[in-house]
Amino acid sequence: MNIKITKTTNPKPIPADDSTLGFGRVFSDHMFVMNYKKGEGWYDPRIVPFDDIALSPAAMVLHYSQTIFEGLKAYRKPDGNIQLFRPEENFKRMNLSGSRMVIPEIPEDVALAGLKELLKLDKDWIPHSDGASLYIRPFVFASDPFVGVRPGEEYIFMIITSPSGPYYATGLNPVGIYVEESFVRAVRGGPGYTKTGGNYAASLAGQVEAQKQGLAQVLWLDGIERKYIEEVGAMNIFFVIGDEVITPELQGSILEGITRKSVIELCRKWGLKVTERKISIDEIADTYKSGALKECFGTGTAAVISPVGLLKWGDLSMEINNNKIGDVSKRLYDTLTGIQYGKITDDMNWVREL
Ligand code: PLP
Ligand code: COI
């Protein structure tokens, strides 16, 4: 498929100071768009100036949330070249989400080619400073005007990009997390393992509660027994207990994070014992009380490695590693960002230079 490019005639000023970017607030000059119609398939891949879009008020996504998204980043290397981190994994996962949400399969090669063209055009928007990058948001939604409930027959696939700093204002300083006991995010059989908007809408009430308590995020427990740890709002979660690195197993209700997968691979390469299993919040409290809980950290594209310094479960406030980043978390952060920013050799074959 040929990608048609229309350049903006009205380029916006590129923010000069990366330290004021925050996360996901500023958008680059162009976006990638492609349409789908039942019977016709995907058509008209194009790059156009970033702008508002027109949608019918009856567009199906607005009513029944048939939508999926992804999140990845473009990094600037010290030599100025640009690279992506495991981008094929994102488009593969996008189609996995799509199959659950009955969204037609996206041609992964066209999506990746479109993204690369977009990045070439908006190269100057990729930040220069450490810890800043261009956050990339591919997404698909049902756009046909119809208020009955059925899968959409028309879809729009878009990629927008946003120069961003750290996801949490605290940067690499540990965050505080609140264990949610009444709301649940997902159950097995539902779309918990996908990146669909509704999962995030369902998580907002918990996030508001966390913020009321002065904490950054929510740690979700399983929806059936309300006992086993699942994941955080926008991150998977890991614990270092004794010498072992432990993360909840994948069983359908949590997202299979690409950072999670990379962390597991790195830890195993370093000879650390990594276990994916069910882990209950009571077990975490016991290991905390016995002194065996050494570290806790979240993993995600936006957050990278985010140390958790405080875990609040009911009346129990667990301060982990004196609210400081631990050795495993730091080594993972340094290695992952080193590979992503092209500062250390990528012997895992993870990065793709533009
Ligand atoms: N879990 C949820 C709910 C997320 O939104 C994310 C972010 O994408 C993650 C985990 C981490 O996934 P990844 O490492 O692929 O960014
Ligand atoms: C990401 O890490 O890419 C996310 O999607 C997190 C969030 C902004 C939803």
**Domain-wise residue ranges, the chain:** 4-164, 175-340
Q: Which residue's C-alpha comes closest to atom 2 of ligand 1?
A: 234
For residue 340 the two structure tokens come to 């992503």
pLDDT digits (tens, 9 = 90+) for 248-293: 999 999 999 999 999 999 999 999 999 999 999 999 999 999 999 9
**Confidence grade of residue 172 (pLDDT, cut at 50, 70, 90):** confident
- Predicted local distance difference test score (pLDDT) of residue 72: 98
Question: Is residue 173's pLDDT more than 90?
Answer: no
264 CA to centre of own chain:
17
**Dist. CA 237 → ligand 2 center (Å):** 14
Q: How far apart are CA 273 and CA 278, in angstroms?
A: 16
**Dist. CA 193 → ligand 1 center (Å):** 10
CATH 3.30.470.10 assigned to 4-164: yes
Q: How far apart are CA 281 and CA 247, in angstroms?
A: 12
User: Amino acid letter at 69?
Assistant: F
Q: How far apart are CA 134 and CA 349, in angstroms?
A: 21
**Dist. CA 234 → ligand 1 center (Å):** 5
Q: Which residue's C-alpha comes closest to atom 6 of ligand 2?
A: 234
Closest ligand to 72 CA? 2
Q: How far apart are CA 160 and CA 207, in angstroms?
A: 25
Same topology, domains 4-164 and 175-340? Answer is no
**Dist. CA 194 → ligand 1 center (Å):** 10
Q: How far apart are CA 297 and CA 332, in angstroms?
A: 10
- Predicted local distance difference test score (pLDDT) of residue 104: 98
- Predicted local distance difference test score (pLDDT) of residue 349: 97
pLDDT digits (tens, 9 = 90+) for 5-63: 999 999 999 999 988 899 999 999 999 999 999 999 999 999 999 999 999 999 999 99
Which CATH number among 3.20.10.10, 3.40.50.300, 1.10.287.3510, 3.40.50.970 corresponds to the domain 175-340?
A: 3.20.10.10
High-pLDDT (> 90) share of the chain, %: 94
- Predicted local distance difference test score (pLDDT) of residue 105: 98
Q: How far apart are CA 123 and CA 23, in angstroms?
A: 18
Contacts of 38 (CB under 8 A, 6+ apart): 153, 154
